[in-house]
Amino acid sequence: MNSNQAQGHDFRFKGKIKDYEKTLIKFFIDIGKNKDAPSKVQEILGYLMIHNKLTQSNLKELTGYSTGTISSTLSNLIKLGVVKKERIAMSNKYQYLLTGNLPQIIERTSEVSSEHFTIISKFLDDKLNELDEFRNKEGYINLHTQINVLLGGFNKVLKIAYSMSETFSEE
């Protein structure tokens, strides 16, 4: 087996199955337009959803994107808790897979989002303190107010994310 290939899987579909695969990728890209997600992110997610496990080399062949683009996109998706990487046995290569099914991914991204919101909130609190030095300066009041709007908004957005996660868990 080619060590660049994800274990036990032939990722090259043909004929009518290939056509269906392309249609599904269009579906993922279309959803992505409303997530402000670039099509490269959606394509990579789509192929991982279809194939379960893929190497960077597989993804390069499927998408036509450069190694750098694929690598950085996967890295961002790993930080978001959507994708994980695992070593292919008996090789020094890695394959990538989604962290679970959709409800699990939604739950995981809610948890990860919560962690990131905490870090961002700390950063914004620090910026509020820094801003206080320029209390009498133009723009201070508005920026101070809007940073607090953002902080309040993040909390509410997190509740929405958890609520979506619960909706899926209940079904």
Partner 1 sequence: MYKELDDKDTYDLNVRKIEKEIVDYLIQSPLYSTRNEITSRILIYIILRKEITQNILKDLTGYSSGKISQELNNLVDSGMIIRKKIEGIRKKVYTFESVEKISTTRVKNIITVMLKWENELGKMKNEMENKRSKLETMNGYNNIMNVIDFYLPAIKIYEKFAESLE
Among 103, 73, 98, CA closest to 86: 98
Residue from 54, 63, 107, 154 touching partner 1 (CB under 8 A): that is: 154
| 8: contact with partner 1 by CB under 8 A | no
- Minimum CB distance to partner 1 smaller for 8 or for 90: 8
The whole-angstrom distance between residue 20's C-alpha and the CA centroid of its chain comes to: 24
Residues 128/133/137/138 CA torsion (nearest 10 deg): -20
| 49: contact with partner 1 by CB under 8 A | yes
Smallest gap from Cβ 63 to partner 1, in A, equals: 15
d(CA 19, CA 13) in angstroms, rounded, equals 9
Candidates 53-61, 62-70, 84-92, 143-151; binding stretch for partner 1 (CB under 8 A): 143-151
| 149: contact with partner 1 by CB under 8 A | yes
Sheet holding 53-54, edge to edge: 53-54, 94-98, 83-87
CB atoms within 10 A of CB 140: 14
Question: Which pair of structure tokens corresponds to residue 32?
Answer: 């992505």
| 127: contact with partner 1 by CB under 8 A | yes
d(CA 52, CA 93) in angstroms, rounded, equals 16
- Minimum CB distance to partner 1 smaller for 90 or for 136: 136
Judged by the rule CB under 8 A, the positions of this chain that interact with partner 1 are 10, 12-18, 20-21, 23-24, 27, 30-31, 33-38, 41, 49-52, 73, 76-77, 79-80, 101-102, 112-113, 116-117, 119-120, 123-124, 127, 130-131, 133-134, 137-140, 142-143, 145-147, 149-150, 152-154, 156-157, 160, 163-164, 167-168, 171
